[in-house]
Structure 1
Amino acid sequence: MDTNMHQSADNKFIPMTSVSSGTGHEVRPDVYYYTNQIVNLVLVGNPSGGDWVLVDAGMPKSASEIKEVCRGRFGENSKPAAIVLTHGHFDHVGSLVSLLEEWPVPVFAHPLEFPFLTGQQAYPEPDVTVQGGLLAKISSIYPNEPINIAPALQPLPEDGSVPFMPGWRWVHTPGHSPGQVAFFRDHDRTLLSADAFITVKQDSLYKVLVQKEEVCGPPVYLTTNWPAAYDSVKKLEALQPQMVVPGHGTFMQGEALSQGLRKLVQDFEQVAVPDYGKFVNNTNQH
């Protein structure tokens, strides 16, 4: 791939983990997710053959681990047909350039994320002042500078389809980032929610460490538009997902998921939106 591609200038190993780190779960015959430290990446495709896709690219300095997981699932010399991004925050693209060096494949994302994926614009710095737990307070250590994968980058199709993922569609879920998307498959109501909603309270160090399962709003320290985040949660709840693989936390399904999502929508202002923080009254994306 093009040698001009590079990770962010502040890309570095982040010493954070959870009890789920290094574990994977097959939640559908063709959907497998793996927890890389504190974030989930998803392998979509049947291990018995055919195209497969990697959804998101994990934490910084994790390329070798991610490639090993993919080889274990799909075979020694396999490579994805594409990499599909939910959004461009550091924990979802942290190993992307290293993966592309071995896998010269297209990367698909929403066009509103392109400035952060082509070296043009940094995300807002994480809000260390926001109401929340320890992980919010130390969020200044998280990378926020843009990466550049311009030679590989392509827009998700305008018709809502997802390349190399037949039966899936992408859903625009801004708020946490301008171009964040979730992926939904209608026939079995499987949802990959990214950080639009997650199943662990991401600012709480204890809950992240033990992966305490609960339907939560997006991570508070990186969410810049709370009205948009609320609209995105409502949009996903209306899909009535039967199973979710979130960006953070464990997969959930059935009535626990339905009830948790309904409560999140009903009580979003109280349970998801912080009482204070620099983005709390922000109605713009940046």
Structure 2
Amino acid sequence: MDAARDDGTQEICADLAYRRLAIVNVVFFGRHAAGDRNWVLVDAGVIGTTSLIVEAAEARFGTSSRPAAIVLTHGHFDHVGGLEELAERWDAPVYAHELEHPYLNGSASYPPPDPTVGGGLMSTLSLLYPRGPVDVGAKLHKLPQDGTVPGMPGWQWLHTPGHTPGHISLWREADRTVIAGDAFITTRQESAYAMAVQTPELHGPPTYYTTNWGNARGSVEMLASLEPILAITGHGSAMRGDEMNRALHELADNFDQVAVPATGKYVNIPADEMKGGEYRKT
């Protein structure tokens, strides 16, 4: 059974925990009291939560302990809010798919979100969300080509594009656990109410920020084919068991009907196929 610590961190198993920070989750890999450089942070929260990430890390791994790496599922603002400060504070290498590097080395901003899809307050406000880029170029590294994850033995990274070009998920075959980022999520992120209540239910990636729906469909289908029994996602509570597995297959089988908006900026033409291609830093 998942256990909540005093600081709000949800322990999934002996070496895996996550903490919800405002609208997003950060994930900690490593055992209690792992000590210096023996754990990994997956994603880096929203702006203003850096001290909470540090406090949770120190409570779990030891005072002043630093991660072996910071691994990013992708570079949207709600996953990199504390990245620059944490990478500098901990002198930690940052790993991301090479297609995300332009958004992490200061050279490009993400395509504009689409506030017309999904409904709900979060979609309406999406034009106000920062599009980046952040710049951790001095500490930024490509993920290993062999699929291994630095600092996370037994895990492999999987390219799961669609929400962003270089989005990844992390997979551990031994216990069929997936850290899915925003490839799929377990709350309706477009709705401020659903985001606050966090009743677990499977959804596709946040609609207002997804810019290639064909790739997003393929990513969910691939993750479902792995038959996971535990999923930690970027938004919403962790889900496990046969019910979660069935819901993931239903999402994959009916993706166009339940996840893809009927209309929208990127529904028919993905952002990376639009004229101009990339959105450069100005």
| Contact 1:132–1:220 (Cα < 8 Å) also in 2 | no
Q: Does 1:160 align with 2:147?
A: yes
C-alpha distance in 1 between matches for 2:8 and 2:131: 27
Cα deviation, residue 134, structure 1: 1.8
Residue 220, structure 1, aligned to residue 203, structure 2: no
Aligned residue for 2:82?
95
Q: For 2:162 and 2:111, how far apart are their aligned partners in 1?
A: 13
Answer 1 or 2: higher relative contact order, Cα 8 Å, separation at least 6. Answer: 1
The separation in 1 between residues aligned to 2:81 and 2:118, in whole angstroms, is 26
Match of 1:29 in 2: 14
RMSD: 1.1
In structure 2, the partner of 1:187 is 174
Whole-angstrom distance in 1 between the partners of 2:160 and 2:260: 16
Q: How far apart, in 2, do the equivalents of 1:213 and 1:282 lie?
A: 31
How far apart are residue 268 of structure 1 and its match?
0.6
Q: Letter of the 1:30 partner, please give it.
A: D
Distance 1:272 1:49 in 2: 39
| 2:128 aligned partner | 141
Partner of 2:163: 176
Give the 3-state SS of the residue equivalent to 1:276 in structure 2: coil
- State how far apart, in whole Å, the 2-side matches of 1:283 and 1:180 are: 15
The Cα of 1:174 is off from its aligned counterpart by: 0.2
Cα-to-partner distance string for 1:80-107 (whole Å, 9 max, x where unaligned): 0110110000000011111122110110
Separation in 2 of the partners of 1:120 and 1:77? 32
- Residue type at the aligned position of 1:23: G
Instruction: For 1:62 and 1:30, locate their aligned partners in 2 and report how far apart those are by CA, in whole Å.
Output: 22
Instruction: Indicate the residue corresponding to 1:267 in structure 2.
Output: 254
Q: CA deviation at 1:284?
A: 4.8
Q: Does structure 1 retain, via aligned residues, the 8 Å contact 2:34–2:62?
A: no
Counterpart selection for 1:44 from 9, 23, 29: 29
Change (3 A) 1:48 1:71: closer
Post-superposition Cα deviations, 1:190-224, rounded to whole Å, max 9, x if no partner, equal 11000000000110111111002111000000000
Query: In the alignment, is the contact (CA less than 8 A) between 2:74 and 2:168 conserved in 1?
Result: yes
1:128 aligns with 2:115: yes
**Structure 2 equivalent of residue 201 of structure 1:** 188
Q: Distance in 2 between matches of 1:93 and 1:251?
A: 20
Q: Is the 8 A contact 2:186 2:201 kept in 1?
A: yes
- Conserved? CA contact 2:33–2:60, under 8 Å: no
Q: Is the 8 A contact 1:202 1:219 kept in 2?
A: yes
Name the aligned partner's letter for residue 38 of structure 1: I
The residue type equivalent to 1:151 in the other structure is A
Cα distance in 2 for partners of 1:156, 1:100 equals 16
Kindly, what percent of the aligned residue pairs are identical?
49
95-104 or 105-114, which deviates more: 95-104
Please list the CA deviations of residues 43-87 of structure 1 after superposition, one character each: whole Å capped at 9, or x if unmatched: 001114361000000001211111011011111121101101100
- Tell me what 1:9 maps to: none
**Which consecutive unaligned segments of at least 5 residues does structure 1 have?**
1-21
* Aligned counterpart in structure 2 of residue 63 of structure 1, from 35, 44, 50: 50
Question: Normalising by the residue count of structure 1, what TM-score does the alignment of the two structures yield?
Answer: 0.90
Q: Distance in 2 between matches of 1:265 and 1:281?
A: 19
Matched residues in 1 for 2:239 and 2:215: separation?
Answer: 24
SS at match of 2:141: strand
Q: Which amino acid in the other structure matches residue 24 of structure 1?
A: T
How many residue pairs are counted as aligned between the two chains? Answer: 265
**Aligned mates of 2:49, 2:270 — CA distance in 1:** 34
AA aligned opposite 1:243: L
Where do 5+ consecutive residues of structure 2 fail to align? 1-6, 278-282
**3-state SS, counterpart of residue 34 of structure 1:** strand
- Residues 30 and 46 of structure 1 are in contact (CA less than 8 Å); yes or no, is this contact kept in structure 2? yes
Distance (Å, rounded) in 2 between the aligned partners of 1:233 and 1:201:
16
The answer to whether the 8 Å contact 1:132/1:274 transfers is: no
